[in-house]
């Protein structure tokens, strides 16, 4: 089997999470500056077998597109052109940043570490991936 990879796409940086090769356990991988994301993905795909990518889709609480959604969709179009062999799935990312902060707080992480926005993005990508996996399992 191959890994699943998720992206929490942001204006400045993107959180990345992946599963193990059996697609059982999601985990945070890293945070990448947005301008370097395509190069990072290209390098990663050469080293690791990835069966599909899950891209967080920013949606407001009322279901309307958020201001970042246009950037995410533009990135998705570039991704599909550069990596046509890798399926790309959108997944609603509402509340992932809030859930990431909550997870950091519940884990006892010190306040200064909780202020690390890059870590929040990485944890958010992990939450997106975990939720995607759970929704997929529910449909089986």
Homologous superfamily assigned to 3-138: YqgF/RNase H-like domain (3.30.420.140)
Q: Where are the domains of the chain?
A: 3-138
The torsion angles phi and psi of 89, rounded to 5 degrees, stand at -120, 135
Q: Tell me, what's the pLDDT at 103?
A: 67
pLDDT at 71 over 90: yes
Instruction: Give the model's pLDDT for residue 50.
Output: 98
Parallel, antiparallel, or unpaired for β 3-8 and 13-19?
antiparallel
Please give the average per-residue pLDDT across 45-51, as a whole number: 97
What does the DSSP assignment read for 19-34?
Answer: E-TTS--EEEEEEEEG
CA dihedral (37, 42, 46, 52) in degrees, to 10, reads 80
Residues of the chain with pLDDT > 90, as a percent, come to: 61
**Angle formed at CA 48 by CA 80 and CA 43, multiple of 5 degrees:** 60
């Amino acid at each position: 089997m191959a890994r699943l990879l998720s992206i929490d796409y942001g204006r400045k940086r993107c959180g990345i999470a992946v599963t193990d090769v059996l697609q059982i356990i999601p985990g945070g991988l890293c945070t990448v500056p947005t301008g370097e994301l395509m190069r990072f993905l290209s390098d990663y795909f050469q080293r690791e077998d990835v069966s599909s990518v899950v891209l967080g889709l920013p949606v407001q609480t009322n279901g309307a597109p958020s201001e970042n959604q246009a950037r995410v969709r533009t990135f998705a179009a570039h991704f599909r052109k550069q990596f046509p062999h890798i399926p790309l799935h959108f997944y609603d990312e509402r509340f992932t940043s809030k859930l990431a902060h909550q997870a950091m707080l519940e884990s006892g992480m010190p306040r200064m570490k909780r202020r690390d926005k890059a870590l929040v993005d990485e944890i958010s990508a992990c939450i997106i991936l975990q939720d995607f996996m759970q929704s997929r399992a529910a449909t089986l």
